[in-house]
């Protein structure tokens, strides 16, 4: 009995070529996907780390700003303001004006924070950028309290509130559960932890 080969070698060759093309294209796609994922991870994780560091720094920045004012700082502020802008009058309190001057020494930190906002917004989103905006809002409240108390005329509960914004009672190393600024910063740190970078493998198994 004679058997005839019925394999269509031309069709088989075309099929194998198609499979090879598909496998090559798949390999290229997966390679590109892995490269893009790793690049995105690197960019996002770097910005996320800077976000966390900047927010953690705010705890120590405000601790320095809100510590008790020394006599030498008050005298230096009075001398600086009188030499540049003249006498502010008998009602002006240089003790409180010194807090704004102290804040000027943290200018490098505030510039770092401002420059970080666009990157955070672009790579991590609005919620992450809002955390930095809230720190800026605390800074503005601090400066406003310094100005209002320095210029005088504030009495009663408002004065007590402004004074509590400028000066904290507890140790700078510990959070005061009754302190508005401390509670706000503690929450910001907690919220920032949500953006802590995940390990690279996490993005490949999603």
Cα 132 from Cα 58, distance rounded (Å): 10
Task: Please write the tens of the pLDDT for every residue from 159-187.
Answer: 888 888 888 876 555 666 678 888 889 89
151 contact partners, CB below 8 Å, separation of at least 6: 88, 91, 92, 93
142/178: higher pLDDT: 142
The model's pTM is: 0.72
- Residues 20-35, mean pLDDT to the nearest whole number: 52
* Residue 84 CB neighbours (<10 A): 7
Lowest mean pLDDT among 64-73, 75-84, 125-134: 75-84
Arithmetic mean of pLDDT, 11-17: 57
pLDDT at 177: 64
Residue-level pLDDT at 196: 85
pLDDT score for 179: 82
- Report whether pLDDT(38) > 70: no
pLDDT score of 139 more than 60? yes
CA distances from 143 to 34, 85, 126, 156 (A): 48, 18, 26, 20
Contact criterion met (CB below 8 Å) for 109 and 56: no
């Amino acid at each position: 009995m004679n058997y005839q080969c019925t394999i269509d070698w031309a069709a088989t060759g075309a099929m194998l070529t198609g499979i090879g093309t598909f496998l090559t294209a798949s390999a290229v796609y997966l390679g590109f996907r892995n490269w893009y994922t790793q690049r995105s991870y690197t960019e996002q994780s770097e910005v996320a780390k800077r976000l966390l560091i900047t927010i953690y720094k705010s705890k120590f920045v405000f601790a320095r700003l809100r510590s008790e004012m020394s006599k030498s700082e008050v005298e230096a502020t009075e001398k600086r303001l009188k030499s540049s802008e003249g006498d502010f009058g008998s009602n002006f309190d240089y003790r409180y004006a010194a807090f704004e001057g102290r804040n000027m020494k943290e200018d490098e930190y505030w510039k770092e924070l401002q420059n970080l906002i666009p990157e955070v917004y672009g790579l991590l989103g609005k919620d992450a950028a809002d955390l930095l905006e809230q720190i800026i809002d605390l800074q503005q409240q601090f400066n406003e309290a310094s100005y209002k108390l320095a210029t005088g005329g504030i009495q009663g509960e408002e004065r007590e509130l402004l004074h509590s914004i400028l000066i904290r009672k507890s140790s700078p190393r510990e959070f005061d559960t009754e302190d508005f600024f401390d509670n706000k910063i503690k929450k910001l740190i907690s919220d920032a932890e949500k953006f802590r970078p995940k390990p690279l493998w996490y993005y490949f198994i999603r």
